[in-house]
Amino acid sequence: MTAEATTAPSSLRILRLRDVMSTTGLKRSMIYRLQAEGRFPKSVKITDYAVGWIDAEINAWVAGRAAQRRGAQSP
């Protein structure tokens, strides 16, 4: 067996809107506005009536915002 075969793929987790709101501190309308402007990760259609967001993409967006802040604070 190769190392690739024994390594489990990273699991994907889908967050629902309330989890995204809690993680980002944003309200529903702002999430959808930023998404429409291409400044926030796109939602994933789960069923005909439900959407979610990929956990890793939301975490990367939050990390990017933090990095932007640190960059702005640098002299």
Strand order through the sheet with 44-45: 14-15, 51-54, 44-45
Query: Phi and psi of 53, rounded to 5°?
Result: -130, 145
Res 69: pLDDT: 84
d(CA 63, CA 75): 20
Read off the tokens for 56.
């890793």
Residue type (1 letter), 25: G
The answer to whether residue 46 sits within a structural domain is yes
Res 74: pLDDT: 56
Any idea what the CATH number is for the domain that residue 30 is in?
A: 1.10.238
Res 4: pLDDT: 47
Res 9: pLDDT: 52
The answer to whether residue 20 sits within a structural domain is yes
Q: Residue 28 belongs to what domain range?
A: 13-69
**Tens of pLDDT, residues 24-72:** 999 999 999 999 999 999 999 999 999 999 999 999 999 999 998 888 7
